[in-house]
């Protein structure tokens, strides 16, 4: 009996440790980048996601940022955003967010390796229960991109992009809150416009069990160069 009880206990512990939910979701983005001069740039982005039902959006983001190129491969930027959350098609929570970001690119042949670190501060309000809260979050992303049909990303070129990003929250436990993995393709129509699509996997970590979102991702990427130095859009959203 003791042995059976021990086996049952181990099964229950294993089930609890690996309990998780899976959803088929969607993620759509439009991003506009304006290059003021060789050093300064602006970015605006809108994002709409349907987490629990592929066809019913339940989250949105509106973001704006400005950045400075310390060098050709090193960029600093600051930004802010307003996000909204829905539950059962009713507005549930709003978020105001500010961040500081540092991104460094390394080149190896046709491959580009981007290391991105972002520190965020968010303030939340839940109108139904009239609750205020805040969050400090750190994010690190390793992004790898490579042109497939040309030596560089230019009009008519197809490129591939993969990345892994981890999210840490400093004022909660567990501190590892999210992991995002993406793999997809980008087609550069011309120097100003590109489209991208791929698979976006998002895992939310929680004590009560992990939640997995399997997302179909689609993005429209617009790049406007006001500096006189025409270059194609990077293909990476903010």
Nearest-angstrom CA–CA distance, 163 and 26: 18
In the chain the domains, ranked by start, together with CATH numbers, are 23-225 (2.40.160)
At 177-233, the pLDDT tens digits run: 999 999 999 999 998 999 999 999 999 998 888 999 999 999 999 999 988 765 555
> In this predicted structure, which of 19-28, 116-125, 180-189, 192-201 has the lowest mean pLDDT?
19-28
Quickly count: other Cβ atoms within 10 Å of residue 45's Cβ: 20
At 87-114, the pLDDT tens digits run: 988 999 999 999 999 999 999 999 999 9
The phi and psi torsions of 204 (rounded to 5 degrees) equal -100, 125
Token look-up 């991105």 returns 116
Nearest-angstrom CA–CA distance, 121 and 79: 11
* 31: three-class secondary structure by DSSP: strand
């Amino acid at each position: 009996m003791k042995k059976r009880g021990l086996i049952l206990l181990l099964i229950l512990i294993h089930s609890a440790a690996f309990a998780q939910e899976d959803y088929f979701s969607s993620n759509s983005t439009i991003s506009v980048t304006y290059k003021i001069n060789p050093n300064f740039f602006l970015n605006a982005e809108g994002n709409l996601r349907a987490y629990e039902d592929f066809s019913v959006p339940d989250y949105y983001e509106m973001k704006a940022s400005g950045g400075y190129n310390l060098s050709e491969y090193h960029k600093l930027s600051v930004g802010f955003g307003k996000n909204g959350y829905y539950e059962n098609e009713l507005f549930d929570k709003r978020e105001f967010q500010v961040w500081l970001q540092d991104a460094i690119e390394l080149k190896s042949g046709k491959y580009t390796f981007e290391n991105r670190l972002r520190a965020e501060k968010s303030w939340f309000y839940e109108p139904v229960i009239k609750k205020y809260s805040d969050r400090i979050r750190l994010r690190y992303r390793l992004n790898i991109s490579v042109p497939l049909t040309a030596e560089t990303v230019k009009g008519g070129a197809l490129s591939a992009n993969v990345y892994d990003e981890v999210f840490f929250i400093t004022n909660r436990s567990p501190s590892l809150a999210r992991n995002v993995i993406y793999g997809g393709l980008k087609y550069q129509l011309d120097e100003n416009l590109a489209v991208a699509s791929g698979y976006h996997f998002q895992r939310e970590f929680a004590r009560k069990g992990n939640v997995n979102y399997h997302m179909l991702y689609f993005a429209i990427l617009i790049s406007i160069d006001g500096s006189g130095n025409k270059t194609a859009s990077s293909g990476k959203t903010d």
